[in-house]
């Protein structure tokens, strides 16, 4: 072994030197290119942005690895999602819904042109919907897709969608970034099956893909045919920088104008950059809620008192403040109030109370034996496992905090870090005690969240199986999408969300927020209301 290792070491040193030289050489090259673009007069109106991954194929009808924000730059929906859940016409100026809630008639915007100059009309909308419906299997997660009976181009600027049964969230679902945004005629491949790729990325959106070097960068130029307000910035360059620290360094050096997203840089780094005062920073409204899900199917957690004790037993305020440095806000409701139908929920906030937690556990029969640190019942210790995504720092830190806090009330929390895919699989297969989860955010909620709660095989339905009013709950959830009366719908949502929360299997922890940090010469930055959309609307540069 020794000989081999010695030789290995020599080769290693040689290799290391070679890599070092090569990287120095490459670094030299990148510096050069950076300088030339910087001195380019055009770059005065070019905004540079960094993203962890390549933007992927610019196809409005496919999913990963295409990046949502980039798809939303090039393609537009019929209807858009605005702050507070307001639905605004984009490519559809207005729409009418029939009495029975089955027919949707869209009055399309006239004088809209695709980026290649071709016309936008009902025919192309129908062609897009038909293509998507051909692959309905692929898109079945989106509720209305499986309920479409017919698509019809009534006349040049009127498009009609007929459903098999009433489904109220249809309009809201049309606002999602994929798969119902509109591709121009030139983009359709032979046979119209866009799930295999598009011929050309032609959309009606404010941006056009100008240049794309896979895994390096992509440049978007503004769409001179755009029907709405023309963006002030002429170009947006998206650099692919996978590592968070590198993004920060590039930003500090001035190579980037904007960093934006969820968890794109370390929170403490964000705070530190903010404190220097040399940059502008912004924190968004809640985009989703971080939830702690307790599996009531597990024996120990089937008792509501144990679940409540676990809720009373940790200092939510201190944990959220400490772990996220105040970036996220303490959540007292499963869905934050900036989502539709959530403003009227009357679930009591649970205050941190160690004594109450201990009392509840005593009541439930979990007593602390003399000289031991873990509670027992019938000789079995109160041991619970918490699963978290090992690559998500916030989840990991919260898990460690909870473990330390639950030890105080005599609960042994074992924490297990797993990869995201395992986490999702185990959640679906109901192989967990406690798990972190979050709702989906705008424009998916609240209907997608409660739908997931009621659907078998996603984890939630099984997790709430010990609720005494489970059947009633499921019935109510099934009724929601079919409602046509606003008041009735509101009432259903309120009682569903209250009931879910009160029985303690779904504990709201904190509201997840996005961050943005940008150079002082960037102006009018605004967070998109749609969680997945691009943040460049209205942005300007004063270089």
Partner 1 sequence: MTIKIHARLKSRKVMILCSIIIGMLILITLLAPWLAPHDPTLVNLAHKLKPPSWEYPLGTDHLGRCTLSRLLYAARMSLGYATLIFISALTIGLVVGTLSGYKGGWVDQLLMRICDGIMAFPSLLLVLGLVGIFGHGLKQVILALIFVQWVYYARIIRGMVLSLREQTYIAAARISGSSQWTIIRKHIIPNVLPPLAVMGALEMGWAIMDISAMSFLGLGVQPPTPEWGAMIHEGKSYIRSHPELMIYPGLMIMLVVVTFNLFGEALSERYGVKRNS
* Interaction site with partner 1 (CB under 8 A): 1-3, 6, 244-245, 248, 266, 268-269, 272, 318-319, 321-323, 390-391, 393, 396-397, 399-401, 403-405, 415-418
Contact assessment for residue 137 and residue 179, using Cβ atoms and an 8 Å cutoff: no
Q: How far is the CB of 446 from partner 1 (least distance, A)?
A: 31
Place of tokens 């010695």: 6
SS3 330: strand
Q: Report H helices in 371-454.
A: 393-408, 420-428, 447-454
Q: How far is the CB of 418 from partner 1 (least distance, A)?
A: 8
Between 6 and 380, CB nearer to partner 1: 6
Q: How far is the CB of 1 from partner 1 (least distance, A)?
A: 3
Residue 151, Cα to own-chain centre: how many angstroms?
A: 29
Altogether, the residues listed in the chain come to a count of 543
Between 175 and 399, CB nearer to partner 1: 399
Between 8 and 343, CB nearer to partner 1: 8
Between 152 and 321, CB nearer to partner 1: 321
**175 vs 12: CA distance, rounded Å:** 54
**363 vs 532: CA distance, rounded Å:** 46
Between 161 and 320, CB nearer to partner 1: 320
Q: How far is the CB of 517 from partner 1 (least distance, A)?
A: 14
User: How many helices and strands, by DSSP H and E, does the chain display?
Assistant: 15, 21
Contact assessment for residue 440 and residue 68, using Cβ atoms and an 8 Å cutoff: no
Contact assessment for residue 5 and residue 198, using Cβ atoms and an 8 Å cutoff: no
Between 351 and 419, CB nearer to partner 1: 419
Q: How far is the CB of 325 from partner 1 (least distance, A)?
A: 9
DSSP tag of 183? P
Q: How far is the CB of 10 from partner 1 (least distance, A)?
A: 13
Q: How far is the CB of 218 from partner 1 (least distance, A)?
A: 27
Between 165 and 425, CB nearer to partner 1: 425
Q: How far is the CB of 318 from partner 1 (least distance, A)?
A: 6
Between 14 and 322, CB nearer to partner 1: 322
C-alpha distances (whole Å) from 322 to each of 316, 416, 512 are 10, 21, 14
Between 185 and 323, CB nearer to partner 1: 323
Among 79, 96, 101, 102, smallest CA distance to 172 is for 79
Q: Is 136 left (phi over 0), alpha (psi -120 to 50) or beta?
A: alpha
Q: How far is the CB of 280 from partner 1 (least distance, A)?
A: 19
C-alpha distances (whole Å) from 381 to each of 367, 402, 463, 542 are 10, 18, 22, 64
First-last CA distance in the chain:
61
Q: Is 473 left (phi over 0), alpha (psi -120 to 50) or beta?
A: alpha
Between 232 and 392, CB nearer to partner 1: 392
Between 83 and 400, CB nearer to partner 1: 400
What residues are paired with 259 via a beta bridge?
517
Residues with Cβ within 8 Å of residue 126, at least 6 apart in sequence: 151, 152, 153, 159
Q: How far is the CB of 434 from partner 1 (least distance, A)?
A: 16
**215 vs 445: CA distance, rounded Å:** 32
Place of tokens 């030139």: 186
DSSP tag of 375? -
Type and span of the H or E element at 310: helix 304-312
Between 34 and 416, CB nearer to partner 1: 416
Residues with Cβ within 8 Å of residue 487, at least 6 apart in sequence: none
Q: How far is the CB of 70 from partner 1 (least distance, A)?
A: 27
Q: How far is the CB of 4 from partner 1 (least distance, A)?
A: 8
Q: Report whether the peptide linkage leading into residue 27 is cis, meaning its omega lies within 30 degrees of zero.
A: no
Q: How far is the CB of 29 from partner 1 (least distance, A)?
A: 26
Measured in degrees and rounded to the nearest 5, phi and psi for residue 286 equal -55, 130
Between 14 and 117, CB nearer to partner 1: 14
Residues with Cβ within 8 Å of residue 23, at least 6 apart in sequence: none
């Amino acid at each position: 072994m020794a000989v081999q290792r010695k030789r290995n070491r020599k080769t290693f040193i040689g290799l290391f030197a070679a890599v070092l030289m090569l990287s120095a050489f490459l670094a030299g090259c990148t510096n050069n290119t950076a300088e030339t673009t910087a001195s380019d007069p055009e770059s005065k109106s070019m905004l540079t942005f960094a993203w962890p991954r390549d933007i992927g194929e610019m196809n409005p009808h496919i999913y990963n690895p295409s990046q949502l924000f980039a798809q939303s730059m090039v393609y537009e929906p019929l209807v858009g999602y605005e702050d507070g859940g307001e639905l605004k016409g984009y490519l559809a100026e207005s729409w009418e819904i029939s009495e029975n809630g089955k027919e949707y008639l869209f009055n399309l915007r006239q004088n809209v042109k695709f980026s290649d100059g071709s016309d936008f009309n009902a025919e192309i909308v129908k062609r897009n919907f038909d293509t998507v419906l051909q692959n309905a299997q692929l898109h079945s997660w989106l509720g209305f897709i499986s309920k479409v009976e017919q698509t019809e181009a009534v006349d040049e600027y009127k498009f009609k969608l007929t459903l098999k049964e009433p489904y109220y969230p249809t309009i809201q679902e049309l606002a999602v970034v994929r798969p119902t945004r509109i591709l121009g005629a030139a983009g359709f491949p032979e046979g119209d099956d866009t799930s295999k790729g598009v011929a050309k990325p032609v959309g009606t959106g404010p941006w056009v893909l100008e240049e794309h070097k896979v895994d390096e960068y992509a440049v978007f130029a503004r769409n001179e045919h755009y029907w709405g307000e023309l963006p002030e910035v002429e170009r947006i360059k998206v650099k692919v920088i996978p590592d968070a620290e590198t993004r920060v360094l590039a930003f500090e050096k001035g190579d980037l104008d904007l960093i934006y997203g969820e968890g794109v840089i370390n929170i403490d780094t964000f705070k530190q950059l903010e404190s220097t005062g040399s940059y502008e920073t912004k924190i968004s409204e809640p985009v989703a809620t971080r939830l702690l899900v307790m599996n009531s199917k597990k024996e120990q957690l089937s008792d509501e008192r144990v679940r409540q004790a676990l809720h009373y037993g940790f200092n939510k305020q201190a944990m959220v403040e400490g772990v996220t440095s105040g970036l996220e806000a303490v959540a007292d409701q499963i869905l934050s109030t900036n989502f539709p139908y959530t403003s009227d929920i009357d679930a009591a906030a649970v205050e941190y109370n160690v004594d109450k937690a201990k009392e509840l556990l005593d009541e439930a029969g979990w007593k602390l034996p003399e000289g031991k640190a873990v509670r027992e019942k019938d000789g079995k210790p109160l041991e619970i496992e918490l699963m978290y995504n090992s690559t998500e720092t916030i989840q990991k830190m919260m898990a460690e905090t909870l473990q330390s806090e639950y030890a105080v009330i005599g609960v042994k929390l074992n924490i297990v870090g797993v990869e995201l895919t395992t986490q999702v699989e185990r959640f679906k297969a109901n192989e967990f005690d406690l798990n972190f989860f979050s709702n989906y955010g705008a424009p998916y909620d609240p209907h997608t969240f409660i739908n997931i709660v009621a659907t078998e095989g996603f984890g939630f339905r099984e997790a709430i199986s010990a609720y005494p009013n489970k059947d009633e709950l499921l019935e109510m959830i099934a009724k929601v999408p079919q409602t046509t009366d606003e008041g009735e719908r509101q009432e259903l949502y309120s009682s569903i969300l209250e009931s879910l929360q009160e029985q303690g299997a779904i504990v709201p922890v904190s509201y997840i927020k996005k961050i943005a940090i940008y150079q002082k010469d960037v102006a009018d930055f605004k967070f998109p209301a749609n969680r997945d959309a691009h943040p460049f609307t209205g942005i300007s540069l004063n270089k």
